[in-house]
Amino acid sequence: MTQCCINPSILSADFVNLEAELQRISNADAVHVDVMDNHFVPNLTLGLPVVQRIQAVSPVPLDAHLMISDADRWAPGFADAGLASVTFHAEASTAPIKLARELRSRGSKAGMALRPATPVEPYLDMLAELDMLLIMTVEPGFGGQAFLDVTLPKIRRARAAVEGSGLGVAIQVDGGITEDTIARAAEAGANVFVAGSAVYGADDPAAAISLLRDKASRTLRGATE
């Protein structure tokens, strides 16, 4: 299984003081940037120009999660901006294999996200085209939602497929990740964890990241012993 990573979501940060908020999570593995267009999801957040400025001041790489319509058209621009990882939604792409290849060709890791009710099976044949598979553990669009345990079997099926393929595809989970839920997600097979309010709602976000990483890592080590 690939390395355990904690990617805090700045959706829960203070948007007026983003540069300072980024420095508070400098021990994270990446910054998870939620891009929402008020079409694919009923919320509006950040566009490419703001993401580029975030990248310019971030102490760690950017992991963009595009919750936007017409991902085939818009996602490559985020890769062109030099982001480390760009994740698009399968439900918003008409040619996901082509898009994943385009993201990689432009220098970004390619991720694909699935809503909680979207089955993983139709996409398992394209694992070789991906660096990361994001299993949403809440409905995309808003932070602070409760973790959906109904997604755990899907995470297990995705992990089994990745292990069976011999590929190093990371499995990311996003939504409701806390001290209480991260072990369940890790036990199911996730190894990259997006946490928003659990990090930025803490008095010491850096300490919260370390605690989450320790809990997930211990669970992942136990699963391989």
Contact 152, 188 (CB under 8 A): yes
* Class of residue 140 by CB neighbours under 10 A (exposed 0-12, middle 13-18, buried 19+): buried
Q: Among candidates 139, 215, 149, 133, which has minimal Cα distance to 188?
A: 149
Active site residue 180: no
Phi, psi of 49 (to 5 degrees): -60, -40
Residue appearing with tokens 């345990």? 149
Catalytic residue, candidates 29, 37, 131, 174: 174
Q: Is 146 left (phi over 0), alpha (psi -120 to 50) or beta?
A: beta
Contact 48, 26 (CB under 8 A): no
Catalytic residue, candidates 34, 37, 63, 131: 34
Active site residue 174: yes
Active site residues: 34, 174
